[in-house]
Amino acid sequence: MAVPEGRLQIGGSEDQPLQQGPLADGYPLIVEDLGTHSNPEAYRVANSFRSQVATSPDDAAHALWTVGTVPARTAGRLTFIYEILVTNHGCEAGAMVLEIAGVPICIPIPVSKRGSVPIVLIVPIRVGNNDVNYHASRAGMKVEILGLEVAP
C-alpha cells in the first residue's frame, strides 16, 4: 500500500497478536528477554561478593575468602577477583600479597604508612574453586577483595 505524500506511516504491532504465556499462567504477556545472562548488571549483582575486611595480627598468612570465613566462600563455585583494597594504619610501610595454599596469585602490593591502595582489575584474577589467603608484611594491614562467584 502506498503512503500518500506528506503522510507518515507508523510501523508497529497493529493487527499483530501479542505473545502470550501458557493458559496455566492466566495468559500473561511475555514482555521480558528470556536469554541467559542477558542483563549483565543483574548478573553481577546476583553473583558478586565482598570479603570480610581482614586485619593482619602478624606477618603470617591469614584466611581472607574461604569456606570458613564470614562471609564464606561457596564451595564448588568459581571465584573471580575484580577489586583489591589494602589499607595500612601503621607507622611504617608494608606490602601484601594474595595466596592460594601458600602460592602467590598476585604481585606484592606496596602500601605506604597510613595509606591505602585500591586496585580495580581490568582482567580479573581467576581463583577457581579455591580458598584465598593473604600475607601482609607487617601487622595491622587491612585487606578486602571484591569479585564474582559463579557456577562452573
Flag whether 1 is in a domain: no
Flag whether 127 is in a domain: yes
The predicted structure's pLDDT at residue 9: 54
Flag whether 16 is in a domain: no
Flag whether 12 is in a domain: no
Question: Is pTM, for the whole model, over 0.75?
Answer: no
What is the domain-level CATH number for residue 79?
A: 2.60.120
Flag whether 144 is in a domain: yes
Q: What is the pLDDT along the chain (152 residues), one digit of tens a residue?
A: 555 565 555 555 555 555 555 666 665 555 555 555 567 788 888 899 999 999 988 878 899 999 999 999 999 999 999 999 999 988 889 999 999 988 999 999 999 999 999 999 999 999 999 999 999 998 889 999 999 999 88
| Number of domains composing the chain | 1
- Say how far apart CA 124 and CA 76 lie, in whole Å: 19
Q: Decide: residue 28, CB within 10 A, 0-12 exposed, 13-18 middle, 19+ buried.
A: exposed
Flag whether 125 is in a domain: yes
Which residue range(s) make up the domain with 110? 48-150
